[in-house]
A = this chain, B = another copy of it.
């Protein structure tokens, strides 16, 4: 019942607790003989140092926080898994915090993480305008942002080139002969979506096509709203032949709307998503989408975070990674020649 402490192993090994501590941490000088004895006793007693106690002495808690909009969203649950594995391999645990993009949740969670002395936090997008808070917080522990740009706050950031992603989508659709297109975006103040749309428009623009802003629609970021908005578009007077959706959820909504309207994809309508979540492999037709280099992004962000723990790096990096087109079944040639 009672946990065995450093005192138990010290007594058992006939040394002081300081020596046990040194033996464990490889600090100071401990003779090999004593060290081996101590290690042996530790094993015999199944001694595990208390992270709590050593954290109180200013050591790390070996715990990091992960702020994401929603773990149950496949895109973020994949991020969570990657973070977890990286963290685990370095001896860290991760506390998952779903913010629903609500500032008050962000704030509450950060306060909580602060109280628990986490070593650092990874912010995986979606923190509204809590940047101020991040600023406030940065004094306490390092922060690294994944897939999210921030204004006015000096933190490491690992980003996807969203603008480029939008451009790639545009090029793919143009190549298939599409000329009449529409866009399903997330709320325009989500910076990543904003960039994707900008990139998409730029891609069209380069081909001499201008996308009327009235063909860009803002949705809540879920399947249902994607479906609702897509339905409206498909009912409109000038039905587009292709839809660029700022994430897979919206694209799936569009797929469902098309199905409901009896419009076949990709024959009559092409749909392209963004994120390359597991969902895009499961729909029928499967979804052509833009893949962010997720694993790589998370890996770099994690390494930056861990790095920040040991030495405060004065200059903050801003790393931008390139997205990639993943062609599946939901895009095809334009029905209009």
Contact = CB atoms under 8 A, between A and B. Distances in A.
A96 interface: yes
A41 interface: no
A319 to B, nearest CB: 23
A56 interface: yes
Given A53-B56, A56-B53, A283-B282, A139 B259 contact: no
Interface in A44-81: 48-53, 55-56, 61-63, 70-74, 77-78, 80-81
Contacts of A98: 81, 84-85
A51 B111 CA distance: 11
A1 interface: yes
A48 B115 contact: yes
- The number of times this chain is found in the oligomer is 2
A304 interface: no
A284 interface: yes
A159 interface: no
A91 to B, nearest CB: 8
B63 A72 contact: no
Given A84-B96, A94-B96, 13 more contacts: A50-B115, A63-B116, A71-B81, A71-B84, A72-B81, A81-B98, A84-B98, A93-B95, A93-B116, A95-B95, A95-B96, A223-B282, A279-B279
Interface of A: 1, 3, 48-53, 55-56, 61-63, 70-74, 77-78, 80-81, 84-85, 88, 91, 93-98, 108-109, 111-117, 139-140, 223, 252, 255, 259, 278-279, 281-285
